[in-house]
């Protein structure tokens, strides 16, 4: 059995006719019939039932078509892998972040002449770690509450991953130009309960539940006036820019980038450092040159140099 036999077989299945299959394959109908007949002889069972009206799959042919379709799909993926190896690749997963996606666009423009291909995914911390352990991505960017670092480290060990710290940060308030606090440098902690929020859906490892543990005040995140919940950073950015809603986040947004997108980070008085930001990779993984360049770019971004 070879790939050609399966390709001819599936063409006949999808076209419902040997003549139409021949047209699709740029060959003759007798040749298609001959290839399929050789497959039937090899497998010892009829694949098609022939009649004056054309061909229909036998019960054996129906089962065979399921496996043939999967085999041809996997062959296609293997061929794509061969093409991909000629490209410089960045496979990244990250927590939802407008700053990271904005920076990635700039990074692409800087390296677009280098045959660069980027696959960028967003998700919760657990989803990012799953992507890494399954080999779907090679770089993960995560935020971790200090209170949750012990269980986070345990998961890393089980999945044979390692974490590199880039910086630690404090909770802050993000507001757009429509918000009355847009020009403010800081707000007292106890005013947070009076504001209205657009907020990302909870991530166990970076939940706002831990915010009260890093402040001089007492705050139950359930008491906050959440008007919009979303797992879309695109939605988050538009809600901040077009409404008077604000969002609780971490002060990783660079000043230059904040100015570009019209989002301002307002410090929360009495809030200490409580969130760790860094990169996760597989243990002992040898990074490609483009990956090393991207990680240095991230270091620069979170150091406020961009």
What would the pLDDT profile of 65-89 be if each residue is shown by its tens digit?
Answer: 889 888 988 888 777 665 555 678 8
Mean pLDDT (whole number) for 200-208? 64
Q: Examine the domain organization and report whether 70 and 185 are in the same domain.
A: no
Is residue 94 within 8 A of residue 140, CB to CB? The reply is yes
Mean pLDDT (whole number) for 92-109? 90
**Quick one: which of 92, 146, 124, 152 has its CA closest to 281?**
92
User: What pLDDT does residue 305 have?
Assistant: 56
| Neighbour-count burial of 294, counting CB atoms closer than 10 A to its CB (0-12 exposed, 13-18 middle, 19+ buried) | buried
Q: Examine the domain organization and report whether 102 and 195 are in the same domain.
A: yes
Mean pLDDT (whole number) for 123-142? 93
Q: Is the pLDDT of residue 44 over 80?
A: yes
Q: pLDDT-based confidence at 216, cuts 50/70/90?
A: very low
Q: Is the pLDDT of residue 232 over 70?
A: yes
Mean pLDDT (whole number) for 99-126? 90
User: What pLDDT does residue 82 have?
Assistant: 59
User: Which residues 6+ apart lie within 8 Å of 123 measured at CB?
Assistant: 93, 95, 96, 131
Which CATH number do you get for residue 135?
A: 3.40.190.290
Q: Examine the domain organization and report whether 76 and 108 are in the same domain.
A: no
Of the three residues 55, 84, 113, the one that is the final residue of a domain is 84
Q: pLDDT-based confidence at 214, cuts 50/70/90?
A: very low
Q: Examine the domain organization and report whether 199 and 275 are in the same domain.
A: yes
DSSP state, residue 201: P
Round to whole Å and give the CA distance between 236 and 231. 8
Give the domain range for residue 279: 88-302
DSSP state, residue 205: T
pLDDT tens string 137-147? 999 999 888 88
- Average pLDDT across the chain, whole number: 85
Q: Examine the domain organization and report whether 143 and 26 are in the same domain.
A: no
Is residue 148 within 8 A of residue 126, CB to CB? The reply is no
Round to whole Å and give the CA distance between 172 and 247. 8
Q: Examine the domain organization and report whether 77 and 123 are in the same domain.
A: no
Is residue 271 within 8 A of residue 298, CB to CB? The reply is no
User: What pLDDT does residue 148 have?
Assistant: 86
Of the three residues 51, 84, 117, the one that is the final residue of a domain is 84
User: What pLDDT does residue 245 have?
Assistant: 94
User: What pLDDT does residue 295 have?
Assistant: 96
Q: Examine the domain organization and report whether 60 and 99 are in the same domain.
A: no
Q: Examine the domain organization and report whether 205 and 59 are in the same domain.
A: no
Of the three residues 84, 100, 119, the one that is the final residue of a domain is 84
User: What pLDDT does residue 262 have?
Assistant: 83
Percentage above 70 pLDDT, the chain: 87
Q: Examine the domain organization and report whether 72 and 143 are in the same domain.
A: no
Mean pLDDT (whole number) for 240-258? 80
Q: Examine the domain organization and report whether 72 and 152 are in the same domain.
A: no
Count CB-CB contacts under 10 A for residue 156.
Answer: 18
Q: Is the pLDDT of residue 208 over 60?
A: no
> Structurally, how many domains does the chain consist of?
2
Which CATH number do you get for residue 15?
A: 1.10.10.10
Mean pLDDT (whole number) for 12-34? 88
Round to whole Å and give the CA distance between 133 and 49. 47
Q: Examine the domain organization and report whether 42 and 103 are in the same domain.
A: no
* Most confident among 72-86, 184-198, 243-257 (mean pLDDT): 184-198
pLDDT tens string 257-288? 666 778 888 998 877 767 889 999 999 999 99
More confident residue, 148 or 205: 148
Q: Examine the domain organization and report whether 98 and 35 are in the same domain.
A: no
User: What pLDDT does residue 21 have?
Assistant: 87
């Amino acid at each position: 059995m070879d790939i050609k036999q399966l390709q001819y077989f599936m063409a006949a299945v999808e076209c419902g006719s040997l003549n139409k299959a021949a047209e699709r394959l740029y060959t003759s109908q007798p040749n298609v019939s001959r290839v399929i007949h050789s497959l039937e002889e090899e497998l010892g069972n009829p694949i098609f039932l022939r009649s004056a009206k054309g061909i229909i799959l036998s019960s054996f042919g129906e089962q065979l078509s399921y496996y043939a379709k999967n085999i041809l799909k996997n062959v296609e993926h293997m061929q794509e892998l061969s093409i991909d190896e000629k490209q410089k690749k960045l496979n990244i997963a990250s927590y939802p972040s407008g700053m990271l996606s904005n920076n990635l666009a700039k990074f692409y423009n800087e390296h677009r002449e280098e045959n660069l291909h980027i696959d960028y995914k967003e998700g919760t911390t657990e989803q990012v770690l799953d992507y890494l352990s399954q080999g779907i991505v090679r770089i993960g960017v995560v935020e971790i509450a200090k209170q949750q670092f012990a269980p986070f480290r345990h998961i890393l060990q089980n999945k044979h991953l390692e974490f590199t710290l880039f910086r630690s940060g404090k909770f802050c308030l993000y507001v757009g130009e429509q918000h009355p606090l847009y020009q403010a440098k800081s707000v007292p902690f106890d005013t947070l309960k009076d504001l209205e929020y657009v907020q990302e859906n909870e991530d166990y490892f970076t939940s706002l539940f831990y915010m009260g543990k890093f402040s001089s005040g007492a705050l139950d995140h359930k008491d906050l006036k959440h008007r919009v919940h979303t797992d879309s950073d695109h939605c988050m950015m538009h809600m901040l820019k077009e409404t008077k809603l604000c969002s609780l986040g971490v002060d990783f947004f660079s000043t230059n980038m904040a100015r570009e997108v019209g989002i301002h980070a307002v410090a929360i008085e009495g809030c200490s450092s409580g969130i760790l930001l860094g990169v996760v990779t597989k243990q002992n993984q040898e990074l490609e040159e483009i990956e090393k360049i991207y990680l240095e770019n991230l270091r620069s971004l979170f150091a406020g140099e961009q």
